[in-house]
């Protein structure tokens, strides 16, 4: 190759690398003074759950036309993909045979697990922090105890019944499953909503279908290694829509690993810590997407587990 051709190739490579780096949007956590107190007030522990009001429930109920329920949670078992050293061990416990004449037998189970962070799971505000500062600037050292968090526990959330909206990004892109590491942009969300003839409203439960659910309990190694999901820009756009929660059919809701190798799961901080918006992970959205149910009544309640960082949940859509 002649020198001029080599020079042109080098220039093209440089431009390509520059473009790739420019596309990888970075993010820097805001200072406490920039995000606290929360818009819900100093000392608030519920964040986006404050959207739950009688009128929110009544609006959701008006979406029910057929009474059909669609389950959005996975079955809890030892075949689930687990993050890190999380586990789910079940030991059947035969307790006793009662002695009266009807011979009533009794059985129970012992579960060894991070029950707030396995399966289809709902992230609370104690789960994530910016260094040691959580939602509404509660500090880890002040609220952490051996028996659970004294503030921001998942028991503060309560019942959530609201308008649910499925944003089927996979269908918008014309695929069954988005590619590994695909970063969902604000434009993807907006155009998918336009395709579905829907718009978001404050207090919505926003669920994003990537198709990643197809790997659940079939290829757990790939499921956990990476995933498509929303990026920083999409998260910031969603936060401006003021949802009750944002969920997806992958393990972190966001793209992982992040395109910027210098930051770790920034959407968790953007949603939970900065904006006080709950995340709902590992959803089962195949039936909802397959039936093209894009608007529905969303129903869920976390466990009343005092001081927990999150909760295993079994949400449903009703249409």
Given the structure tokens 């009266």, which residue do they identify?
100
Size (the chain), residues = 319
CATH of 25-84+115-318, one of 3.40.640.10, 3.40.50.300, 3.60.15.10, 3.50.30.50: 3.50.30.50
What pTM value is reported for the model?
A: 0.90
Count other C-beta atoms under 10 Å from residue 309's C-beta.
Answer: 20
The answer to whether 247 and 209 are in contact (CB under 8 A) is no
Would you state the structure tokens that stand for residue 201, as one six-digit string?
């409203």
Rounded to whole angstroms, how far apart are CA atoms 167 and 189? Answer: 7
Pairing of strands 69-71, 316-318: antiparallel
Rounded to whole angstroms, how far apart are CA atoms 72 and 187? Answer: 26
Q: pLDDT digit string (tens) for 22-39?
A: 445 789 999 999 999 999
The answer to whether 205 and 167 are in contact (CB under 8 A) is no
Rounded to whole angstroms, how far apart are CA atoms 74 and 302? Answer: 15
| Residue 233 in this model has a pLDDT that exceeds 70 | yes
The values of phi and psi at residue 164, to 5°, are: -105, 140
Backbone conformation region of residue 57, classed left if phi is above 0, alpha if psi is from -120 to 50, else beta: alpha
The answer to whether 236 and 229 are in contact (CB under 8 A) is no
> Would you place residue 7 in the very low, low, confident or very high pLDDT band (cuts 50, 70, 90)?
very low
pLDDT score at 42? 97
Would you state the structure tokens that stand for residue 210, as one six-digit string?
């990537």
pLDDT score at 190? 98
Pairing of strands 121-123, 278-281: antiparallel
Rounded to whole angstroms, how far apart are CA atoms 23 and 235? Answer: 16
Pairing of strands 160-168, 205-209: parallel
Q: Which of 12-16, 134-138, 229-233 has the lowest mean pLDDT?
A: 12-16
Rounded to whole angstroms, how far apart are CA atoms 215 and 250? Answer: 10
Mean pLDDT of the residues in the chain? 92
The answer to whether 254 and 98 are in contact (CB under 8 A) is no
Q: pLDDT digit string (tens) for 76-135?
A: 999 999 988 999 999 998 878 888 898 889 999 999 999 889 999 999 999 999 999 999
pLDDT score at 24? 54
The values of phi and psi at residue 94, to 5°, are: -80, 115
> Would you place residue 10 in the very low, low, confident or very high pLDDT band (cuts 50, 70, 90)?
very low
Rounded to whole angstroms, how far apart are CA atoms 188 and 172? Answer: 8
Q: pLDDT digit string (tens) for 246-262?
A: 999 999 999 999 999 99
Would you state the structure tokens that stand for residue 29, as one six-digit string?
């956590």
């Amino acid at each position: 190759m002649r020198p001029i051709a080599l020079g042109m190739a080098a220039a093209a490579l440089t431009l390509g690398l520059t473009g790739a780096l420019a596309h990888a949007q970075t993010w820097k956590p805001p200072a406490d003074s920039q995000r606290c107190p929360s818009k819900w007030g100093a000392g608030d522990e519920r964040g986006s759950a404050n959207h739950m009001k009688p009128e929110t429930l009544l609006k959701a109920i008006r979406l029910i036309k057929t009474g059909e329920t669609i389950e959005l949670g996975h079955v809890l078992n030892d075949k689930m993909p687990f993050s890190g050293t999380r586990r789910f061990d079940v030991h059947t416990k035969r307790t006793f045979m009662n002695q009266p004449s009807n011979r009533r037998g009794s059985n129970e189970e012992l579960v060894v697990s991070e029950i707030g962070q396995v399966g289809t799971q709902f992230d609370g505000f104690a789960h994530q922090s910016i260094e040691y500062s959580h939602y509404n600037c509660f500090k880890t050292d002040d609220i952490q105890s051996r028996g659970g968090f004294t503030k921001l526990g998942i028991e503060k959330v309560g019942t959530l019944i609201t308008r649910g909206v499925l944003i089927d990004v996979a269908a918008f892109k014309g695929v069954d499953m988005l590619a590994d590491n695909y970063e969902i942009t604000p434009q993807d969300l907006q155009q998918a909503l336009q395709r579905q003839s829907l718009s978001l409203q404050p207090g919505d439960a926003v669920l994003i279908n990537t198709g990643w659910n197809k790997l659940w309990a079939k290829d757990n190694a790939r499921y956990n290694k990476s995933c498509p999901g929303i990026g920083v820009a999409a998260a910031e756009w969603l936060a401006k829509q003021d949802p009750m929660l944002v969920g997806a059919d992958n393990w972190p809701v966001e793209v992982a690993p992040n395109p910027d190798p210098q930051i770790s799961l920034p959407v968790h901080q953007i949603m939970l810590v900065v904006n006080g918006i709950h995340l709902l992970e590992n959803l089962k959205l195949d039936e909802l997407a397959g039936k093209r149910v894009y608007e529905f009544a969303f129903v869920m309640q976390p466990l009343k587990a005092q001081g927990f960082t999150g909760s295993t949940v079994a949400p449903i859509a009703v249409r």
